[in-house]
Amino acid sequence: MVHLVELAAGEPQELPGGDEQGFEDGRNQRVEEIRTFLTEARQTLVPRGEVKHGPLPPLLVAMTLVTGLVDAFSYLVLGHVFLANMTGNVVFLALALVGAPGFSVLALLVALAAFVLGSSGGGLLGSRLGQHRGHLLSLAAALQALLLCIAVVLAALSGNPVSRGGSFGLIIVLGLAMGLQNATARKLAVPDLTTTVLTLTIVGTAADTRLVGGSGSRAGRRLIAVAAMFVGALIGSLLIFLAAIVFPLVIALIVTAAIAGTTHLLSRTDPDWVRAN
């Protein structure tokens, strides 16, 4: 089959039928990419036949949701401070040092210190329990749930707006919790699921795509992580504005406790995924 194309001079010219084959190949490739994307997203949320990481991907997606909830709470309730995304705090600290309104040097330094201390605790757990990822995640999530429980009590007693003392107490407790979470996720080493750092996740999605000659961006898993943090922040913000400031922390507590319990149950039979890579 051939196509006729009118040139500017008005003369018809025959084009080879291979153009149609090329179009068909391109369409098939796009269909295959869509199928791959949907498969990656499904495997991230509902792993089937996954041996290497087992149920860790959906559990870490749930932790990413917690990140969104906590950072929405900290930014909107405790002032311009993040308790999970430390990159933002470094920028905020620079702004605070030059006198930009709405930022507290002390609050940002306390947040950074608490996060570092929590990360150190997570590193200690990882060095002791890192060879069994099930034990590591279940214990770390249980400790994080305990810290979140303390934060819920502090938020409930502090009222709205939160007092200065209550604010610093919450920054310390939540900073410890999120540092612990990040260190644990790093030790678990599930690709593209750090529970916090989305900048590299977004870069990888764009830079590794086949459209620019990459080997494949694993966009399904990466975009699930982005969506989880977005949804957590959205839910947290809505609850703060429409309900009570303590509700995002309550949900974060429930989710984290569920992660701890689920991991403990699923790792009791010592499946392959609990072993460190």
Unique residue bearing structure tokens 């590794």 = 208
pLDDT computed for residue 7 by the predictor: 41
pLDDT score of 15: 45
Please tell me the distance from the alpha carbon of residue 244 to that of residue 238, in angstroms, as a whole number.
Answer: 9
Greatest Cα-to-Cα distance within the chain, rounded to the nearest angstrom? 83
Q: Which two tokens stand for residue 116?
A: 């570092």
Phi, psi of 7 (to 5 degrees): -85, 170
pLDDT, residue 154, reads 95
Token pair, residue 143, equals 């400790």
pTM > 0.85: yes or no: no
Q: What is the mean pLDDT of each run of 10 residues along the chain (277 residues)?
A: 44 53 59 70 77 88 96 94 92 93 94 96 92 94 98 92 92 97 92 74 61 60 88 97 96 98 93 82
Number of CB atoms found within 10 A of residue 150's CB = 18
Given a contact cutoff of 8 angstroms between Cβ atoms, the answer to whether 259 and 133 are in contact is: no
Q: Using alpha carbons, list the distances in angstroms from residue 121 to 195, 251, 277.
A: 17, 24, 21
d(C-alpha 123, C-alpha 182), whole Å: 10
